[in-house]
Structure 1
Amino acid sequence: MNDFRADIQGLRALAVFLVFIFHISSSVLPGGFLGVDIFFVISGYLISGIILNKVEKKSFRFIDFYIGRLKRIVPVYYIVLTVILIIAVIIYLPSDILQLRMNAFWSAIFASNIYFSTLDTYFGASSIENPFLHTWTLSIEMQFYFLLPLLLYFINKRWLPTALIAIIIGFLGYSVWGTYFLDLKSKMYFSLAARIPEFCIGALFAVKQDTFKKIGTSTLNYISGISLVVILVCAFLFSEKSDYPGYLVIIPCLATSFLLINKDSFINRNIFSHKIAVHIGELSYSIYLWHWAVMALWRYYKVNYEFTGVEVVLIVILTYLLSLFTYFTVESYFRKTNNKKFFTLLTALVVVLGVVAVLLPRLNTYFYKIPDKYSRPTFGLKSHSNSFEEVESFGDLSKKSDSILLIGDSHALVYKNILHNLGLVNSFNFRTITNDRYPNIPGLNQKDFSNKDLFVQYSNIVARTNNEIKNAKIIFICSVWFDDQSSLPSALDQFLKNLNASQTVIILPDYPTPDKNPIRINRDFIKNDNSNYEYKIEYKKLPVRIKKVLDQYKNVHVVSIDFKQKLKDIPFNKDTLMYYDKGHLNLYGTEVVSREFDEEFMNSINKILQRH
């Protein structure tokens, strides 16, 4: 296991190629993400062989192993993290910079897999712009590297295959259970426990490779050819819709393992050992670190997820040049340094990364001086979502409570200032409590939530909302009514059924939204004459499934506003930006809407109230 294997470098080249193509365009290679699984199997195979060889010679030392892993992984990793943050200072908007720094923190401590599992899915739209998203694999590798020596050192080699098989079966069962029965696909994707079988399959083949080789050279040659075909077929047949990892992960992992144990096969000698494949394999770690960072930063700046042919060529060239540079100046250099010098330089890298991270927001403001009023939500946050502190009251507070309540999702948060301005002019007040994405209507099913934390947050908000509902005579609701919340119609129906006949529900109209985040395209709150992007504006209507529920109740009324009447230049008004992202009006935008549509809103609301 100490001999250099050119074919393994070639196998690494295949893995990084699959991942690279998948990240360029998932439609071209929908299952290219399994390149990560190939990396995990290779790691399990190689590291196990190295450790076992040293254990047999009684030369294995835990401290040497861990320092070796640090030298191999951390220096270039921290340099890439630092470069990403420096570039982000220039291209990131202030509203996004703090989240980026949080992503960098979890990546730097090799726990990004845990953190990202609580956010969007790996395949989500917002994830595709996260330049640190790919660090989840490094986090899992480092976590496993901490555990692997303990397993190999303390378990007798005689019993090791049995132990590895038991671990593979046990953790594979955990992955299958979480993926198929608990609907925790995203959590399993980022989970160390769900990925342990992949490393252990590689380790098992390293331990039992002599046994596998007894199959015979000719048979193994056929198996190697079949294994390569299997990997390529899986790369085309698997997709982000597949229940992965689950039991499907066994297929590419076994195929990779058979390629690893048969170094003399035609495939290994003539394809994976080719000098180009070996060269790419040597650069594969740097390529992996740089390629996604380049793509994500490019996507963020261009506000476009699809690359043109010219952009693909530029990304390939830039990734290769950066990888070439860091391989020879960082990776190769740090592997040869003595421990004292290594830790001195590592400390310097950590300090530089920390300083850049701390100064990130302040440095960013030098490039983008966009007031919060235009770039982020600022009104009514104390009564909203994860920033909730208390139920708030707005409008004309000089008079006694009007027993009006506003609830809903983040679009209801936007309506807080609209209704506040209407209340000041028309002498009414209201109380409000709202939630992100999931409207605080009781009864939503936990299966509709992307993770448990969001469901807990929703449940806490609903508990406070229920007390307010009892005392409200008029309830305003505003929501996007997302289609992926399958339990929403039944929850809404039950909510309306439980209200008293004297309580009136008013459904507020959703405001128009552009197809792209205008602040990202314009990069200022005053219209940039050089920006010629033509926005497609969506004027939303109530979904049929929601309208069917509302039509059943006489105390429920829908307000309709013709926003096209006065908003002619969305997402701008008089060359000033009205949105802080593609889905939400900023504070200025809410002031425009409340001012321009005061009469329409009040006429509709008063007509409704006169009926009751």
Structure 2
Amino acid sequence: MKYRAEIDGLRALAVIPVILFHAGFEQFSGGFVGVDIFFVISGYLITTLLIEDIENQRFSLFDFYERRARRILPALLLVMLCCIPFAWAWLPPQAMKDFSQSLLATSSFSSNILFWLKSGYFDSANELKPLLHTWSLAVEEQYYVLFPLFLLSLWRFGKARLFWIIAALAVLSLLLSEWGSRHSPTANFYLTPTRVWELFAGALTAFIVQGNGSKSNNALALSGLAAVVVSIFTFDENTPFPSLYALAPILGTALILIYANKDTYVAKLLSTRVFVGLGLVSYSAYLWHQPILAFYRHATVEQNTVTYIVLICVTIILAYLSWRYVEQPFRSRTRINRSRFFWLTSVAIISVCTFGIMGNASDGFAKKRNKTLFKDLAYNSSRLGYIKCPEALSKTTPTLDYCHGTSDKPNALLVGDSHADDKFYGIAKALNQYQWRLIGNPACPPIMGVNFEAANGIACTARLKKIFTFLENQKSIELVVLSFSHAYPLDSFVAADHVQSKHSPLDAVIEDIDDPLLSRVDTFYAGLERTLKFLQKLNIKTIITIDTPELTFFPVDCITGRISCHFLENDVLTRQIIHRGQLEKLATRHTNIRIYDPIDLFCKNKQCSILRDGHTLYRDSDHLSLYGSEYYGIDFAFWFDQQGQ
């Protein structure tokens, strides 16, 4: 097959947006389409080689698989082996177990299935998975295993008929992808049946070019490049993908392969030294970038653009080194013969899989660390035996994410957002003279008369109305505890989880229904005051909890010894100064409410810690662990009794 420099340039156009997208550069919001460009290129190149070998009667299935193994395995195994010591140093047991599973899945080219079962591609937690990107290698390898067999079995029908058979299968896969984007988006993203049409697009392109040669057509080549570039800069995580939207980068890539011959503007651009150089190391760059970014995110919360640029440069340097000293030697049968190649790769695969099996079987080597502390990071309230809410609350639209209790006839409610959810276990257990129910929704504070849409897009207004309507219709409720985050009306978040996810309080809509010109702070606490008046009218005892301290670090970082588990009380009070001041004003105006301050649970002599009695009180940077909830509940119950409630 004749070498085309523009194809290496096209690889660069694929890999750079992927890296920039994963590094969080928002301008490249559709950078993930780089993977789709790779799929088309792979389909094109593999099919071209297969057609030439079959037509010249030199095709060997074993030789084909060996060439694929030489192309993919050495650099991949090197990256996986290099990941292991960093994972050992930085990953907590659950993340280590997940990593161990991904080692096994990647080694068997089934990681796309593993990540499909685990989560969605755009989930923020996926930024922390070092081998997430190997899902695309799994799709390609599954294709490589089956496509030669498919081609051989149907070759007798002739190339023309074979072309249309592949075209029909591509259309079916595309239609399945369009359906999957609406009904099963995670499976649609990861699994081969809804991705294979992209590889088939490359195969069909190979039939066209192999039969007619590549053409020089500036208009069509530029159109293809424009379709790819527009996709990179306009698509984002809200774009259903893959789906009919994916036709833009797929057909754009096909147009470049067919019409961007060396005389076209596009070919000249893609054949420049920079593009070709990046294209040559694109496979290694793709392999290195995700582990580097993921381990950096595990290592620190404080992230900035300059550091990401440095990490991208490190990625390119490592990519060059692994291309020069691993990819190139292993692809040469004269430098590394067949027996040596299989011996070396077998040893590496056995080593990776052995570690993966041990890590999975030992729950991430939990016994070699402080198992109790790491166990505290897990949070699962579904096993606590709570009674589900009636369907009127939990099933009818809009649904509430939090709605369960200790009794189907409650006389006490804990109302709020996720900062109520994490305290319910402890309060309900410690103050068990009441029959409790938790009711609320993440990111939805209990404020009335406010148009509120959370920073993560959750529409809270209708949910809050549903909660207050339920309260108004209940005659048995004697006590309501309001618990919620204080950060909604502020200018920025400080909790490490929010900083990492790049959410901002300013992304939330907070508008007073009666007076839209009120400031965000005044609107928020005016809404809270309406809630208090509403509860007072119903003659319900009301308690507001001052928010627990937010952490500027992740608990796992202090558990693993990377940073201190301690922080200053003054820093907490400074961050909460608006919250505390506003609650103090409300308490002055409404003497029938009580305010519970948990600061002394975490802070002694101006020093604070998330550790108590061999346990961690937090499961992340702003939510309590189950142990922390129980610890909180005991103090809350003691305070409650002291109030004479």
Task: Please give the alpha-carbon distance, in whole angstroms, between the structure 1 residues aligned to 2:567 and 2:622.
Answer: 20
RMSD of the TM alignment (CA)?
A: 4.2
Could you report, residue by residue, the CA deviation over 1:427-459 in whole angstroms, capped at 9, with x for unpaired residues? x5x9xxxxxxxxxxxxxxxxxxxxxxxxxxxxx
Amino acid of the structure 2 residue aligned with 1:177: W
Evaluate the alpha carbon distance shift between residue 416 and residue 591 of structure 1 in structure 2; reply closer, same or farther with a 3 A threshold: closer
Task: Please give the alpha-carbon distance, in whole angstroms, between the structure 1 residues aligned to 2:558 and 2:350.
Answer: 35
Alignment pair present for 1:307 and 2:301:
no
Evaluate the alpha carbon distance shift between residue 197 and residue 358 of structure 1 in structure 2; reply closer, same or farther with a 3 A threshold: closer
Could you report, residue by residue, the CA deviation over 1:115-157 in whole angstroms, capped at 9, with x for unpaired residues? 2223332222111121111111111111111221133222231
The 10-residue stretch of structure 1 (329-338 or 250-259) with the greater mean CA deviation from structure 2: 329-338
Could you report, residue by residue, the CA deviation over 1:468-522 in whole angstroms, capped at 9, with x for unpaired residues? xxxxxx342255445667799499779969x997798966735636265531453
Could you report, residue by residue, the CA deviation over 1:363-409 in whole angstroms, capped at 9, with x for unpaired residues? 96699547437742489774379xxxxxxxx99xxxxx999999999
User: What's the offset of the Cα at 1:202?
Assistant: 0.9
Task: Please give the alpha-carbon distance, in whole angstroms, between the structure 1 residues aligned to 2:301 and 2:365.
Answer: 19
Alignment partner, residue 581 of structure 1: 620
Could you report, residue by residue, the CA deviation over 1:548-569 in whole angstroms, capped at 9, with x for unpaired residues? xxxxxxxxxxx97533564575
1:224 counterpart (214, 221, 224): 221
Superposition pairs of residues 84-95 of structure 1, within 5 angstroms: 84-95=83-94
The 10-residue stretch of structure 1 (282-291 or 561-570) with the greater mean CA deviation from structure 2: 561-570
User: What's the offset of the Cα at 1:308?
Assistant: 3.0
Alignment partner, residue 293 of structure 2: 295
1:518 counterpart (554, 565, 589): 554
Alignment partner, residue 270 of structure 2: 272
Contact in 2 for aligned 1:517/1:580 (Cα 8 Å): no
Task: Please give the alpha-carbon distance, in whole angstroms, between the structure 1 residues aligned to 2:92 and 2:144.
Answer: 37
SS in 1 for 2:619: strand
The 10-residue stretch of structure 1 (353-362 or 8-17) with the greater mean CA deviation from structure 2: 353-362
Task: Please give the alpha-carbon distance, in whole angstroms, between the structure 1 residues aligned to 2:578 and 2:640.
Answer: 17
Task: Please give the alpha-carbon distance, in whole angstroms, between the structure 1 residues aligned to 2:298 and 2:575.
Answer: 21
Alignment partner, residue 416 of structure 1: 425
Task: Please give the alpha-carbon distance, in whole angstroms, between the structure 2 residues aligned to 1:539 and 1:40.
Answer: 53
Superposition pairs of residues 178-189 of structure 1, within 5 angstroms: 178-179=180-181, 181-182=182-183, 184-189=184-189
2:319 counterpart (323, 330, 340): 323
Amino acid of the structure 2 residue aligned with 1:239: D
TM-score by length of 1: 0.73
User: What's the offset of the Cα at 1:412?
Assistant: 4.8
Superposition pairs of residues 389-468 of structure 1, within 5 angstroms: 412=421, 415-423=424-432
Contact in 2 for aligned 1:26/1:32 (Cα 8 Å): no
User: What's the offset of the Cα at 1:302?
Assistant: 0.9
Alignment partner, residue 562 of structure 1: 596
Alignment partner, residue 192 of structure 1: 192
Tell me the percent identity: 25
Alignment partner, residue 377 of structure 2: 376
Task: Please give the alpha-carbon distance, in whole angstroms, between the structure 1 residues aligned to 2:414 and 2:599.
Answer: 27
Gaps of 5+ in 2: 387-404, 444-453, 485-546, 580-592
Alignment partner, residue 174 of structure 2: 172
Alignment partner, residue 147 of structure 1: 146
Contact in 1 for aligned 2:120/2:186 (Cα 8 Å): yes
Amino acid of the structure 1 residue aligned with 2:429: H
Amino acid of the structure 2 residue aligned with 1:340: S
Task: Please give the alpha-carbon distance, in whole angstroms, between the structure 2 residues aligned to 1:44 and 1:247.
Answer: 19
Task: Please give the alpha-carbon distance, in whole angstroms, between the structure 2 residues aligned to 1:244 and 1:259.
Answer: 22
Amino acid of the structure 2 residue aligned with 1:292: Q
Alignment partner, residue 206 of structure 1: 206
The 10-residue stretch of structure 1 (184-193 or 130-139) with the greater mean CA deviation from structure 2: 184-193
SS in 2 for 1:9: helix
Contact in 1 for aligned 2:225/2:252 (Cα 8 Å): yes
Contact in 2 for aligned 1:46/1:206 (Cα 8 Å): yes
Alignment pair present for 1:246 and 2:243:
yes
User: What's the offset of the Cα at 1:290?
Assistant: 0.1
Task: Please give the alpha-carbon distance, in whole angstroms, between the structure 2 residues aligned to 1:493 and 1:71.
Answer: 61
SS in 1 for 2:237: coil
Alignment partner, residue 448 of structure 2: none
Alignment partner, residue 400 of structure 2: none
Contact in 1 for aligned 2:412/2:480 (Cα 8 Å): no
Task: Please give the alpha-carbon distance, in whole angstroms, between the structure 2 residues aligned to 1:589 and 1:165.
Answer: 58
Task: Please give the alpha-carbon distance, in whole angstroms, between the structure 2 residues aligned to 1:564 and 1:522.
Answer: 22
Evaluate the alpha carbon distance shift between residue 370 and residue 281 of structure 1 in structure 2; reply closer, same or farther with a 3 A threshold: same
User: What's the offset of the Cα at 1:595?
Assistant: 3.4
SS in 2 for 1:477: strand
Amino acid of the structure 2 residue aligned with 1:352: S
Evaluate the alpha carbon distance shift between residue 265 and residue 247 of structure 1 in structure 2; reply closer, same or farther with a 3 A threshold: farther
Number of equivalences: 521
Contact in 2 for aligned 1:301/1:520 (Cα 8 Å): no
Task: Please give the alpha-carbon distance, in whole angstroms, between the structure 2 residues aligned to 1:173 and 1:560.
Answer: 59
1:528 counterpart (564, 569, 573): 564
Alignment partner, residue 483 of structure 2: 509
Alignment partner, residue 17 of structure 1: 16
Could you report, residue by residue, the CA deviation over 1:143-173 in whole angstroms, capped at 9, with x for unpaired residues? 1112211332222312022112211211111
Task: Please give the alpha-carbon distance, in whole angstroms, between the structure 1 residues aligned to 2:567 and 2:476.
Answer: 52
Task: Please give the alpha-carbon distance, in whole angstroms, between the structure 2 residues aligned to 1:494 and 1:162.
Answer: 61
TM-score by length of 2: 0.70
